[in-house]
Amino acid sequence: MQIINEHNIILSNPETRDFLADAYYPETNGKLPLIIFVHGYKGYKDWGAWNIMAEKFAEAGFFFVKFNFSHNGTTVDDPHHFGDLEAFGNNNYSKELSDLGVVIDHFIQHEKVDDQKLILMGHSRGGGISIIKTFEDERINGLITLASVDTLDRFPKNEAFKKWEEAGVFYVLNGRTKQEMPHYYQFYEDFKNSEMRFDVERATEMAKAHILIIHGTNDESVNVKNAEHLHILNPNSELFLIEEANHTFGAKEPWEENDLPKDLNKVVEKSVEFIKNKFVI
Half-sphere exposure of 135 (CA within 13 A, CB side): 19
CA dist., res. 263 & res. 257, Å (int): 14
The DSSP symbol for 267 reads: H
Give the integer Cα–Cα distance in Å for 273 and 66. 20
Give CA–CA dist 96/102, Å, rounded.
10
What is the value of pTM for the model shown? 0.98
Q: How is domain 3-153+198-278 classified at the architecture level of CATH? A: 3-Layer(aba) Sandwich (3.40)
What is the reported pLDDT for 1?
Answer: 85
**All residues at 6 or more sequence positions from 188 whose CB lies less than 8 Å from its CB, including other chains:** 155, 164, 165
Residue 279 burial (10 A CB sphere; 0-12, 13-18, 19+) = middle
Calculate the CA 138 to chain-centre distance. 18
| Contact yes or no for 249/267 (Cβ under 8 A) | yes
Rg of the chain over all Cα atoms, to the nearest angstrom: 18
Identify the pLDDT of residue 150.
Answer: 98
pLDDT at 256: 97
In angstroms, the CA 115 to CA 98 distance is 19
In contact, 152 and 128? CB cutoff 8 Å: yes
Q: What is the pLDDT along the chain (281 residues), one digit of tens a residue?
A: 899 999 999 999 999 999 999 999 999 999 999 999 999 999 999 999 999 999 999 999 999 999 999 999 999 999 999 999 999 999 999 999 999 999 999 999 999 999 999 999 999 999 999 999 999 999 999 999 999 999 999 999 999 999 999 999 999 999 999 999 999 999 999 999 999 999 999 999 999 999 999 999 999 999 999 999 999 999 999 999 999 999 999 999 999 999 999 999 999 999 999 999 999 87
How far is it, in rounded angstroms, from Cα 53 to Cα 60? 11
Q: What is the DSSP letter of 194?
A: T
Domain ranges, ordered by start, for the chain: 3-153+198-278
Instruction: Compute the distance between CA of residue 4 and CA of residue 56 in angstroms, rounded to an integer.
Output: 12
In three state form, how does the secondary structure of 53-115 look?
A: HHHHHHHCCCEEEEECCCCCCCCCCCCCCCCCHHHHHCCCHHHHHHHHHHHHHHHCCCCCEEE
Question: Which of 222, 232, 71 minimizes the C-alpha distance to 151?
Answer: 222
Distance CA 96, CA 7 (A): 20
